Amino acid sequence: MPSVLVVEDDQFVRSALIRHLTEASHTVRSVGTALEALREVAHFRFDVVILDLGLPDLDGAEALKMLRSITDVPVIIATARDDEAEIVRLLNDGADDYLTKPFSVEHLSARMAAVLRRTRGVGGQAPPPRVIQVGGLSIDPLRRQAELDGTALDLTRREFDLLAFLAGRPGVVVPRRELLAEVWQQSYGDDQTIDVHLSWLRRKLGETAARPRYLHTLRGVGVKLEPPESAPAAALEPPA
């Protein structure tokens, strides 16, 4: 059952989308501003975002760029604007598809299905990823859950993505450029973004940069995750 975030400030359009998508067996959450949308994708997992451009707090084109800085969730633009140059620019900025209002719910459903097929790969979803064990860390990419010594970690979407990426390469120093490309889906960016998320992760793992246990930064080189010296090496297990 695909999970959808509707970002639309027009209450009539928003209600209609929620109703039709729910009837089509989608799980739907909705917001009316760009900032609310950013909070939603930071804390919840979605299969697709339907984004209006005419939002009251921030233009949807800018909202798209901000969404792309924190998530790779597929985004379908839904708006009354039909300027071809703008459509091309939005697609180049990371939109996965574009619908011009008014459109039918059948048209939207078909576009959503096509986007989900592309992002999941031909033939359906990829095989379920395995549970990653690194010392006392247990990371389940399928359920997007992480535990430390049996206690659940309360991670944001990006924190989880960063932790899972590093845990999948235990003991390997990952360059910051690779983290930006693989976790943030950016070819370039500010190192401070990585530093901030590493700081938040360390706090939740009960460590500091001065006294690391799992996360180790090699200045000028990159970041690695490895078990504490007294912990067993990493292992991969199939999900329960």
Tokens encoding 160: 């989880």
Q: Which of helix, strand or coil describes residue 55?
A: coil
Lowest-pLDDT choice from 27-41, 181-195, 223-237: 223-237
pLDDT of 113 strictly over 90: no
Tokens encoding 153: 């970690």
The string of pLDDT tens digits covering residues 142-193 is 788 999 999 999 998 889 989 998 998 888 898 888 888 888 777 665 678 8
pLDDT category of residue 29 using cuts at 50, 70 and 90: very high
Q: Which residues contact 54 (CB under 8 A, 6 or more apart)?
A: 9, 60, 79, 80, 81
pLDDT of residue 146: 94
Flag whether the pTM goes above 0.75.
no
Q: What is the residue whose two structure tokens read 């690779």?
A: 178
- Sheet strands side by side (includes 27-31): 27-31, 3-7, 48-51, 75-79, 97-100
pLDDT of residue 121: 52
pLDDT of residue 189: 59
pLDDT of residue 200: 93
Contact 7, 51 (CB under 8 A): yes
Phi (first) and psi of residue 42, to 5 degrees: -75, -20
Tell me the pairing of strands 222-225 and 215-218.
antiparallel
DSSP character at residue 158: H
pLDDT of residue 239: 46
pLDDT of residue 75: 93
pLDDT category of residue 123 using cuts at 50, 70 and 90: very low
